[in-house]
Structures are given as structure tokens and as C-alpha cells.
């Protein structure tokens, strides 16, 4: 069973639209960490955010915001007023104590295309 | 700091050839790992290390060997390349602390013919 599901394979928006990328995870642990990474067309992986399972506060960083809901096992990512530079593949990932937190379990990624 | 570096950036091999993908980090991180990225599958863990001399298998270890003789270096060896190993390989490192994020290298794109 997939532990991290990003159901949206590709999303296409026009600049200045808001867009939400969904992430649903599955774990038996009460302590775990969730991450979002961005992979721009150049190919590198850029860390965006980390959230631990005990901190359900939403987080905002500029145009980016994250909504963590333990009740629905979701950690969704919203980009407000999207820009062409936001075009990338975005990965949600889970880290659990089972692996000593050494393993990141990635979702399949969501490819976001922002058109001018 | 250079961060996490990987060489080469691109490599083409023939089936059966061997090669080593190099990974180095200059952040004195204890933990290092190798992932492969295939289309539609995200990244999957191949092997990881929690310190010099200590390695362990990840989700897809078959066909790959690793060793960690120094804190800085974590090479990945393909002993007999197969077309199924065509992928993009990423090395990552993180410092001690369960909450710390992993920093990724730029990746190596490997094609096995």
C-alpha cells in the first residue's frame, strides 16, 4: 500500500491563480515527520518545509502555505498567486521512526505547470 | 560549503559494465543515503549510512553496493549494470536529529543500454 499519495499527477494553471497540491499519508506511528520538496526543471531537489506530527499549526511562508490535518492524514500545499517560476514537480515525503527517520518515503510527485 | 556533490552528472553504460557513482558532502553530516528517481514513482531509497563503517539497505538495494569509509564520502557501486538501473540517482545527507531535513545532491542521470 502506498504510504504517501499525491493523487494529482499534473496540474496546469494560469499565472496568478491559486493552486493546492494534495498529499495524503499513511502511518501507524504517532511520531513522524512530513516534508515537501520542489524539483524545478533543472532537476535538483529543494527542501521547502518540515512538519512534525505534534505540530498541527498551519504554516505560511510568503506565497506558500501548508495545511496539516492529522484527522484526515493530509499535508496539503497551497501556492497563492502562482508564478511561472513555480513550475516544477513537487514531492511530499514521510519520515517514520521505523527507519530511525533515515528513510524518506516519497509520493509520486505532482507536476505543476504555470502558464503566463 | 559545496553541500552535497555528485559525479558524474551523466553516464551511459552497456549492460554488464560496472561503475561507481561518487557522492561527497562537506557539512559533516552523519547520515547519507542514495535514492533513485524513476518516472511516476517518486524517489526510492537504495542504501543508507548512519556513520562511517555503518550501512544498511533501503527499499530497492538489489544490484547496488555501498561502503562508508569516511564521513564525507558515500559511493554507490553498480557491479553489473542492467537496463532496469536506468534512472536518476540522488545522494542525500542530513545531520543528526530526527527532525532534520535531507539535503540532496544535483543527481546523476544513468542510462544502461
Beta carbons of B42 and A103 less than 8 Å apart: no
Residue ranges for chain B with pLDDT beneath 70: 98
- Interface A-B: count of C-beta contacts within 8 A: 56
Can you give the pLDDT at residue A56? 82
The DSSP 8-state label assigned to residue A26 in this structure reads -
Instruction: Give the gap in angstroms from C-alpha B43 to the nearest C-alpha of chain A.
Output: 6
How high is the pLDDT of residue B104?
Answer: 95
Identify which of B31, B40, B42 has the shortest CB distance to residue A91.
Answer: B42
Q: How near does any CA of chain B get to the CA of A108, in Å?
A: 4
Asked whether B112 and B45 are in contact (CB, 8 A), the reply is no
With a CB cutoff of 8 Å and minimum separation 6, the contacts of A28 are none
Q: Does A111 touch chain B (CB under 8 A)?
A: no
- Kindly report, residue by residue over A4-45, the tens digit of the pLDDT: 999 999 999 999 999 999 999 999 888 999 999 999 999 999
Amino acid at each position: 500500500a502506498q504510504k504517501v499519495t499525491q493523487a494529482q499527477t499534473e496540474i496546469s494553471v494560469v499565472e496568478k491563480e491559486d493552486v493546492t497540491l494534495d498529499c495524503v499519508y499513511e502511518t501507524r506511528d504517532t511520531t513522524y515527520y512530513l516534508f515537501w520538496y520542489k524539483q524545478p526543471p533543472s532537476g535538483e531537489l529543494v527542501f521547502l518545509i518540515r512538519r512534525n506530527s505534534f505540530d498541527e499549526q498551519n504554516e505560511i511562508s510568503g506565497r506558500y502555505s501548508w495545511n496539516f490535518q492529522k484527522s484526515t492524514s493530509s499535508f496539503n500545499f497551497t501556492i497563492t498567486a502562482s508564478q511561472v517560476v513555480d513550475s516544477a514537480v513537487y514531492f511530499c515525503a514521510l519520515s517514520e521512526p521505523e527507519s530511525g527517520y533515515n528513510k524518506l518515503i516519497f509520493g509520486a510527485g505532482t507536476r505543476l505547470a504555470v502558464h503566463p | 560549503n559545496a553541500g552535497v556533490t555528485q559525479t558524474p552528472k551523466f553516464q551511459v553504460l552497456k549492460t554488464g559494465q560496472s561503475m561507481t557513482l561518487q557522492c561527497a558532502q562537506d557539512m559533516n553530516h552523519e547520515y547519507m543515503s542514495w535514492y533513485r528517481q524513476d518516472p511516476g514513482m517518486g524517489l526510492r531509497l537504495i542504501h543508507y549510512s548512519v556513520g562511517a563503517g555503518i550501512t544498511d539497505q533501503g527499499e530497492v538495494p538489489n544490484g547496488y553496493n555501498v561502503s562508508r569509509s569516511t564521513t564525507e564520502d558515500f559511493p554507490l557501486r553498480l557491479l553489473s549494470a542492467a537496463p532496469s538501473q536506468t534512472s536518476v540517482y540522488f545522494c542525500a545527507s542530513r545531520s543528526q536529529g530526527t527532525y532534520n531535513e535531507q539535503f540532496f545532491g544535483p543527481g546523476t542521470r544513468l542510462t544502461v543500454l
